[in-house]
Amino acid sequence: EFYLQNIAEKNTQLNAFLKVFDQEALAKADEIDQKIKTGNAGKLAGMVIGIKDLLCYKDHTSTAGSKILGGFESQFNATAVQRVIDADAIIIGSQNCDEFGMGSTNENSAYGACLNAVGTNRVAGGSSGGSAVAVQADMCLASLGTDTGGSVRMPAGFCGLVGLKPTYTRVSRWGLIAYASSFDCIGPITKSVEDAAILLEIIAGKDEQDSTVSRLEVPQYSAFDTTHKTLKIGYLKEAVESAGLQPEVREATWAKLEALKAAGHVVEAVEFPLIKYFLPTYYILTTAEASSNLSRFDGVKYGHRSNQATDLMSMYKKSRAEGFGKEVKRRIMLGTFVLSASYYDAYYTKAQKVRRLIKDYTDQLLSEYDFLVCPTTPTTAYKIGEKTSDPIQMYLGDLFTVQANVVGLPAISIPNGVDNDGMPIGFQIMGGAFQEKALLSFAKSLY
């Protein structure tokens, strides 16, 4: 009732939820109350969760923030969704996001932008903007978002929250509407590191529906390792010293690094000359994968079908032309271009090779350092509309977050103060593959 009340008061303005399942949520709450009385409630009993509209929820609409999936109802649950339901969480609604997860501000949603609750002329961050603002404005306790290049960490950073992107393959992608399959990850957005850990231990682990999921045992992430170890922490020199950093973000990051030193950790600058290839590699490979993944939206199987069509070909074309937004079309065209016969080697193959170089170099650094840290984003949340006319400017904001997805490693964003306008600043920590327990324990010691 508390969360529904807040939704009633704030959602019209903030636009975080696309759908609210109020009656269902209340009925489920009653059911859980009974279970608690009889002592057989699940681990998440009563945890009120919102889910990004990119996750399939049986018999509920899942639009991916797109007109092309307007009115589409899933026939099954995403594995992560099923698992939180099985653990007795309450799903209160589906959340606004950039169309198919393509964006950094939530302004690319077919259902309107979601606004940051701190200073509502500011963006929420994207693409899981609705998921972040819903937690920020107490419209739910936690959210499940998705992170292909920062979409959990970036809005978490912009909204003063914790956002965790797990290791690639740690969480099943079954029921996650695909953007770029070799990058996509489901992750929690929460107010505390502990809630992120609790959610991860529920949603992670092997799944018959997704053969790429790791079969590694899921540790109890929320049993934090509290033994104080002296850690070796590398900060990305090019990131922390970049001229493009907003001054307050730089100061907050330095202050955090100083605090780490004062706590006895070894903090060193590491050079990453390949940083200039992070964004080109990411945008070439993700658009390639997106152009292929999104070919399934053809007006035949699900979602929007144009009523202007005269034959099969025109149905495909018109349904897609009417259904997809501008940014999605841009990416389909870019992806199709880099996969085309004459450019495949020059762009796609090349980017795959660079991806390998970035991965090898990152792994090498993580064999020397426990964690790599940097600000989550170069600036705090932009003003609404500030970057919408220039996609390159928009892409530049992803510079620090895409690396974790390019290399498949876990990374977390935790709050690190605010700027002069009171807008939250994020601090990002990246760890080794499947080292979420160490990552979360370290994050917990800081926040």
Name the residues annotated as catalytic.
52, 127, 151
**Cβ atoms 214, 191 nearer than 8 A:** no
Residue type, 256: K
**Cβ atoms 107, 77 nearer than 8 A:** no
**Token pair in block for residue 26:** 């209340």
Query: Binding to ligand GLN by residue 149, rule CB under 6 A?
Result: yes
Cα 296 from Cα 288, distance rounded (Å): 14
Question: What is the x/- site pattern for ligand GLN, positions 105-144, by CB under 6 A?
Answer: ---------------------xx-----------------
State which H helix or E strand residue 202 sits in.
helix 193-203
- If the CB atoms of residues 126 and 157 are measured against ligand GLN, the closer one turns out to be 126
- If the CB atoms of residues 25 and 97 are measured against ligand GLN, the closer one turns out to be 97
Residues 6+ apart with CB under 8 A from 275: 236, 238, 239, 399, 403
* CB of 126 vs ligand GLN, minimal distance in Å: 6
Query: Binding to ligand GLN by residue 325, rule CB under 6 A?
Result: no
Cα 445 from Cα 427, distance rounded (Å): 13
Neighbouring CB atoms inside 10 A of 225's CB total 14
Among 93, 101, 166, 375, binds ligand GLN (CB under 6 A): 101
**Cβ atoms 21, 59 nearer than 8 A:** no
Query: Binding to ligand GLN by residue 103, rule CB under 6 A?
Result: yes
Question: What is the x/- site pattern for ligand GLN, positions 212-251, by CB under 6 A?
Answer: ----------------------------------------
**Cβ atoms 94, 146 nearer than 8 A:** no
- Residue with nearest beta carbon to ligand GLN: 151
Query: Binding to ligand GLN by residue 151, rule CB under 6 A?
Result: yes
State which H helix or E strand residue 403 sits in.
helix 402-407
* CB of 86 vs ligand GLN, minimal distance in Å: 26
Among 15, 148, 253, 376, binds ligand GLN (CB under 6 A): 148
Query: Binding to ligand GLN by residue 391, rule CB under 6 A?
Result: no
Binding site for ligand GLN (CB under 6 A): 101-104, 126-127, 147-151, 179, 286, 398
